[in-house]
Amino acid sequence: MVTKRKAVALISGGLDSMLAVRMVQEQGIEVEGINFYTGFCVEGHTHAIRNHDKKKKKRNNALWVAEQLGIKLHIIDVIEEYKDIVINPKHGYGAHLNPCLDCKGFMVRKAEEWRITNNFDFIITGEVVGQRPMSQTAKRMPIVMRESGAGNRLVRPLCARKLEATLPELEGWLDRSKLGEISGRSRKEQIALTRQWGIKDYAQPAGGCCFLTNQQYAAKLQDLWTSRGTREYELDDIMLLKVGRHIRPNADFKLIVCRDDGENNFATGYKNRFISLYANSHEGPLALFDGQASTENLKLAARIVARYGKGKHASVVTVQVSEPRESEGQELNVTPLDTTEMPREWIL
Amino acid sequence: MAHYEYDLRGMICPMPVIRTQDRIAELLDGDALEVLCSDPGALHDIPAWCRIHGHSVTNAVHEPEGLIRIQVLVHKP
Ligand code: SF4
pLDDT value of residue A45: 52
Contacts of A269 (CB under 8 A, 6+ apart): B10
Is A104 touching ligand 1 by the criterion CB < 6 Å?
A: yes
pLDDT value of residue A32: 98
> Does the residue A258 lie in any domain?
yes
Structural domain harbouring A276: 243-346
Mean pLDDT score of chain B: 95
d(CA A255, CA A186): 41
A223, with CB counted inside 10 A (0-12, 13-18, 19+), is middle
8 Å CB contact of A45 and B14: yes
d(CA A313, CA A316): 9
Pocket test for ligand 1, best of A41, A78, A84, A103 (most atoms within 8 A of CB): A103
> Does the residue A225 lie in any domain?
no
Q: Kindly report the CATH number that applies to the domain delimited by B3-73.
A: 3.30.110.40
pLDDT value of residue A206: 46
Each residue's pLDDT, cut to its tens digit, for chain A (348 residues) gives: 678 999 999 998 889 999 999 999 999 999 999 999 999 987 655 545 655 555 555 678 899 999 999 999 999 999 999 999 999 999 999 999 999 999 999 999 999 999 999 999 999 999 999 887 666 777 888 899 999 999 999 999 999 999 999 999 999 999 999 999 999 988 899 999 999 999 988 876 545 578 999 999 999 999 999 999 999 999 999 999 989 999 999 999 999 999 998 889 889 889 999 999 999 999 999 999 999 999 999 999 999 999 999 999 999 999 999 999 877 789 999 999 998 899 999 999
Enumerate chain B positions whose Cβ falls within 8 A of a Cβ in A: 10, 12-15, 17-18, 21, 39-41, 44-45, 48-49, 51-53
Are A157 and A274 found together in one domain? no
More confident residue, B77 or B27: B27
Among partner residues A59, A73, A75, which is closest to B44 by beta-carbon distance?
Answer: A59
d(CA A309, CA A317): 9
Are A167 and A250 found together in one domain? no
d(CA A47, CA A60): 9
Are A36 and A123 found together in one domain? yes
d(CA A39, CA A187): 28
> Does the residue A325 lie in any domain?
yes
CATH code of the domain in which A177 resides? 3.40.50.620
8 Å CB contact of A75 and B41: no
> Does the residue A221 lie in any domain?
no
Q: What's the length of chain B?
A: 77
Contacts of A103 (CB under 8 A, 6+ apart): A38, A82, A85, A89, A135
Are A268 and A178 found together in one domain? no
pLDDT value of residue B65: 83
CA A208 to chain centre: 8
Residue B42 — pLDDT band, cuts 50, 70, 90?
very high
> Which of A36, A60, A61, A238 to probe by mutation at the B interface, max B CB count within 10 Å?
A60
Size of interface A-B (CB pairs under 8 A): 60
Are A192 and A311 found together in one domain? no
pLDDT value of residue A203: 79
> Does the residue A1 lie in any domain?
no
pLDDT value of residue A27: 97
Are A40 and A166 found together in one domain? yes
Residue A304 has a CB neighbour count (10 Å cut-off) of 24
> Does the residue A230 lie in any domain?
no
Are A133 and A38 found together in one domain? yes
Are A172 and A266 found together in one domain? no
Contacts of A70 (CB under 8 A, 6+ apart): none
> Does the residue A184 lie in any domain?
yes
Instruction: Please tell me if residue A239 touches chain B, with a CB cutoff of 8 Å.
Output: yes
pTM reported for the whole predicted model: 0.91
Q: How many domains does chain A have?
A: 2
More confident residue, A342 or B53: B53
